[in-house]
Each structure stands twice: as structure tokens, then as C-alpha cells.
Amino acid sequence: MDDKISIIPLGGASDVTKNMYVYEYKNEILLVDCGLGFANETMLGVDLLIPDISYLKTSGKKIVGMAITHGHEDHMGALPYILPELPSFPIYATPLTAEFANSKLNEFGVTQRVQKVEFNGGELKIGSFTISFIRITHSVPDTSNIFIKTPVGNFYHGSDFKFDLTPYDGKKTEFKKISQAGDSGILCLLSDSLRSEKPGRTPSESKLTMAFEKAMEETEGKFLVTTYSSNISRLNQVIHAAARLNRKICFIGRSVIKCKEIAQSMGYMNIPKGMEVEVKNLRNFKDKDLVLVVAGSQGQENSALTRIVSDEFKEIKLRPADTIVFSAEAIPGNEISVNSLIDEIAKKGARAIYSEVSDEFHVSGHGASEDLMLMMSLTRPQNVMPIGGTYRHMVAYKALAKRQGIDDKNIFVGGNGQEVVFSKNGSHFGRRLNLKNVYVDQISGEEVESFVLMDRQKIAKEGVVVVICEVEQETGQIVDNPNIIARGFPSQDAQDLSKNLSRELRLALSRKKEPVTNWIYIRRLIGEVSEKHIFKAFRKHPMVLPIVIEV
């Protein structure tokens, strides 16, 4: 039987976040990335989503290691939730990525650590796999693509990237290494596809510094910037512009402070002495002398920016002379919360600058169509597999691949859970794993079952009715009037419900004349009578919770 490699996306293929990929050879598994997803407004009480690792637990195969491509939450944020569920194995990442990951693991009390690998560190042998890290430009320093050698063939894992020829930190893409990987033969290129619909190339980060400086000059009050906390280059650009205009800088919000401290400790960020001020000392400076770097670019409910805009941050008050720059795009699913926050800023009379009104303050970290086709030209793969995008992005990537002369049968658009099998004799789709959504409550860190989410959605849409009945054991009759608590109903409807449902319940139980021997039946009867009455009277299906007290 021919040797084969299976690739199974557990997340990140047909969705933008939750990136996690299984490379499987015989009895060995190599994992690439371990990312979070973010809840939308329909996922009530849920903060995060994580990949479904049921297959890793039940396959009986050995996980020989993991490589992490870069320090964004959607590629490494699930580590503290997933590592405790799996046997221990080595994890590798470039220096800043490893520091971000280890800080997160330490925060959650997870003892396992990510090992730092330098870009010039050569190859790493991990079981039957040999991997090397190739520097690529993205919106966080130390981003890498992973070149993976296997007994079957070579794979190029081209996670999030763009080709920025003038990156702000001066650390350019290692084009020579990408080309050398192509020269060695690539069985399959897995490529970022998020901006495959966009024509042309993604602009360079370097153009943003002058835009920040100009906007600061025009602002008579405080200048606030919000971006992804891990976008160290963007933070450095804001620091540079503020320094030229003699403004003090203050970092606000736990995530941005943590990333700033890590970047400083590793030499990725240098703040001139005396320039940074703490929140408690802001009152000692005039608004026109301040730049605030604030966490909350996605409109998160409890973020520093949301609290400032809502007047819940006692040290900072938003004023009409202030400017707030959103130097980040809304992650798909966050558009409503971001737009709501911008509306609140407008009500305060402050100036908000965001992508819809100006493209001078943010450029994507993902390559547009010409970047993606250049990657195909450099690697010259036999097969391609788009990742890191929604289904429409993967389909758009397929069209780009065809333009590069790649045959339809060598382009694998499968989605999460869809195995693709590669051998020296050809490649094809394999089995499909039945992956489930895994929801996490960030406060408790516990998984939230899907039925719990359904209950929450039902309560939010239809309301909840608690029916408390005292039932006499000897006769099976209701003692006194039931206590009915209705939530999600207009007050008059709630009053009518309490009065009329009491009568219905008394009537239903009046047919019983003997002692109660099955309390489960009584509870179910009260629930069924209540549900039928509520639907008949109000055309609603609330959650009904019958509570029976034995008397």
C-alpha cells in the first residue's frame, strides 16, 4: 500500500478564525496552529469558540508535535483550552509568537510551554516530519509560513501573509527560502485566501506613519488609536508619530498593555524615556498633549474603548475635540458591535476615523489576489488547498489557481473536517469528520454545550415562564394559587397569563382523585398544560420550567 499524507482542517477552512490543521502520516500527527473563534450576537452567553478535537482524542494516533505560525488569537489563542485535553507533545514557534503563547498559558495556569525557534535555526525533525519556519510579512512581527517535509512529499503551509516590500520593522519576507522550497518540489500549497476577491496587491504598512502624524496635528484634543493589541508594528508607528509631535503616550486595556510589555522586553518596541504616562497621571496633562492607545478595536462589550465611550472610565472623558482612529478592520461577525460603538462616539461629538471613511490608517495583513498568485508562482505546487477564509474566499482562490494553470482536479476546496489524501500516485478527497461547534464561556473557561445555547436563544426570543405549584400528595390537587413568574412578556400579558393559567392547571389536576405516586408525571403534566395554554393565548413558545412542591 502506498504511503500517504492526510490533511484535515479542524478549523480555518470555510471560516476565518479557529485555525487548526492535522497532518497525518501512518500513526503520527503533526498539528499546525491552535486558534480561537469569536462568538457572534446569536451565541448568547458565549465568548469564544475552539476547534473540535474529538478526532485527536479518539484516533489512537500519536501527536508528535505542533507548529504555530504567528501570534494572533485565531491561530494560537485556543492553546490553554486544548492542551490540557491532550497528551503532552513539543510545540514550536518563532520568538515573539512563543512569548505571546507562553504568556497566555501562564495566565491560565497551564504548565506546558512553547519552544522558541529562530528563523535561521534550520530544520526541526518531529517524528516523520521535518519542518522549517520561513519569515513572511503580516500584521504581527515574527509571522512565519511552515515548510513541511514528509516521506510522501513536501508541503508549504502558507498561513496568513502578504508581500510587504517595505515593512515598518524592516524584516522582509524570505523570498529566497520560499523559492528554494519551490525548487525542492511542493506536493501541496495550503494558502491564505481571505483577500482572494480583492484585485491587485495589499499596500505596505509604511504609508501609515505619515497619516497618523497628520491626523494628530489636526486634533486639538486627545488622540485615541485602537488596533489589534498584537500589531506591534502599528503600535510603533503611533509611538513614532506621537514622539515627533511631543505628545505623551498611554496604553490602556489589559491586552494592549500585555503585548506592549512583551514587545519591550524582547526589543521589538522602544518608547523614549519620559514619553509614556500611566492612566492615573493623565489628569496632569492637557488633552492636546496626549495619545492614548486603547484596546477594543472590535467593539468588545467590556473593552477599555467601550468603557471610555460609555463614560465608565473615570480617568478619561471623551470630548468633542478628541479623535478616535480605528486602525483595524472588523472581524467578520463583529460589524454590528463596531458600528454601534462608532455611533456612540458620534453622539459624544468626537471624531471617529474608520475604514469606511478613510483607508489611510489601516492596511490588511492579508495578501490580495496578486500576492496570492505570486505565492503560487514562487512555490510552483502540484496541488493547492485554500485556507483561512470563508467558502466564498476559497472559491475565489480556486479561480486564481486556475489562472495560474493549475488543473481543477488539483485544487481542493473542502472545508472544515474534510480530509484530503496525498500520495505519490495522486491526491483525492477522503472521509469527512463530523465536527461540532465547541463554545466556551471565557469567564469560567468551561465548554458550553449546544443545547445550552439553544435554551438561551429560546429564552431571548420567546421568554421564560416559571410555574410553581404546591400539590397535595393525598389528593393530587393544587393547594392555593400557583405562583407564575413570566419574563419576556408585556406586563398586562403576564397578569393575564398568571390568572388564566392558574385556572387551567387547577382544572387539569382536578381530574385526579387519588394519592400521587408519580411526581415526574405531575411535573410533566403541569409543563404540557402550561405550554399549550401559552401558545393558544399568545402564540409564543417560551421556556417553561414547572416546579412541583410536595405537600
Interval 445-472: pLDDT, tens: 444 455 455 666 667 778 888 999 888 8
Strand (E) positions, 55-161? 62-67, 91-93, 115-116, 124-126, 129-135, 144-149, 154-158
Interval 112-167: pLDDT, tens: 999 999 999 899 999 999 999 999 999 999 999 999 999 999 999 999 999 999 99
**Is 4-200+364-447 assigned to CATH 3.10.180.10?**
no
Q: Is pTM beyond 0.85 here?
A: no
Contact 100, 263 (CB under 8 A): no
Counting residues of the chain whose pLDDT is more than 90, the rounded percentage is: 70
Where helices occur in 29-107 by DSSP H, the ranges are 54-58, 73-76, 79-82, 95-107
Residue 497, C-alpha cell as written in the block: 397569563
Counting residues of the chain whose pLDDT is more than 70, the rounded percentage is: 94
Domain range list for the chain = 4-200+364-447, 205-353, 463-550
Task: Read off φ and ψ for residue 13, nearest 5 degrees.
Answer: -115, 105
Among 185, 232, 124, 29, which Cα is nearest to 133's?
A: 124
Interval 81-92: pLDDT, tens: 999 999 999 999
How much is the average pLDDT of 74-81?
Answer: 95
Residues with a catalytic annotation lie at: 192, 366
- Which superfamily does 205-353 belong to? Metallo-hydrolase/oxidoreductase (3.40.50.10710)
Burial class (CB in 10 A: 0-12, 13-18, 19+), 275: middle
The sign of the dihedral angle between the CA atoms of 231, 236, 239, 245 is negative
Integer Cα distance of 497 and 404 in angstroms: 67
How much is the average pLDDT of 170-185?
Answer: 97
pLDDT of residue 452: 54
Residue 443, C-alpha cell as written in the block: 469567564
Interval 207-253: pLDDT, tens: 899 999 999 999 999 999 999 999 999 999 999 999 999 999 999 99
Cα–Cα–Cα angle for 482, 486, 487, rounded to 5 degrees: 160
Q: Enter the CATH code of domain 463-550.
A: 3.10.20.580
